[in-house]
Amino acid sequence: MRKVHRIKLLKLKRQDWFDFYWHTWFRYHTVFFGSLIFNGKKLKAFNNFLKIKQGLKLKEFFDPYLIFLVSMMKITPDISFLSLKLGGASVGVPMPISEKKKVMFGVKWVLKLLKDKHKVLSIPLIVDLLVSTLYDKGIALEKKYTIYKLGSQNRHLLKFFK
């Protein structure tokens, strides 16, 4: 009797994990797809998103949805900075952010980093960035680490927001 009950609990836990990951995948997917829409051209953005998924599959020979989800979850930050004026200078104070804002910040970082480094945003650049993030390399993770370093230096300023 106990084994049957435990198996049901394990199945329930797996289903909950699946729902959680599907929900986060859907959030990343919609935000990323929405950020690819320029000048109201949804069909072009949809084709580009399909090409990104196809490029991920060709490069890694694995499920492109899972590659995209894992790399985007590695990129997303947990903190954001609020500006605080101290002695005439503006200082960033680290504050935790909500789940929806984490997704927005992650997608914005990816697209902004690629646009800053390369003038034209292309599909192979996005695929290379996502794959390099999967292996803990790349400019997106460097930006995340610099943000965390700055946040750890300024965490003593949290007392002004309590």
- What is the count of structural domains for the chain? 1
Q: How far is CA 17 from CA 22, 27, 74, in A?
A: 8, 15, 18
Asked if residue 99 lies in contact with residue 20, where contact means CB atoms within 8 angstroms, the answer is no
Domain with 141, as residue range(s), is 2-161
DSSP state of 162: -
Rounded to the nearest angstrom, the gap between the alpha carbon of residue 89 and the centroid of all alpha carbons in its chain is 31
Cα-flanking dihedrals φ and ψ of residue 89, to 5°? Answer: -110, 145
- Kindly write down the DSSP assignment for every residue of 71-128, as one continuous string: HHHHH--SEEEEEEEETTEEEEEEEE--HHHHHHHHHHHHHHHHHHHSSS--HHHHHH
**How far is it, in rounded angstroms, from Cα 134 to Cα 142?**
13
**How far is it, in rounded angstroms, from Cα 133 to Cα 70?**
9
Please give the model's pTM, rounded to 2 decimal places: 0.71
pLDDT in tens, 107-159: 887 878 877 777 777 788 888 888 888 888 888 888 888 888 888 888 777 77
Residue 13 has pLDDT above 50, yes or no: yes
Cβ count within 10 A of residue 49: 18
pLDDT value of position 70:
82
CATH number at residue 138: 1.10.455.10
Torsion sign over Cα 134, 56, 139, 29: negative
pLDDT value of position 1:
43
pLDDT value of position 38:
63
In a 3-state reduction of DSSP, which class is residue 63? coil
**How far is it, in rounded angstroms, from Cα 135 to Cα 1?**
44
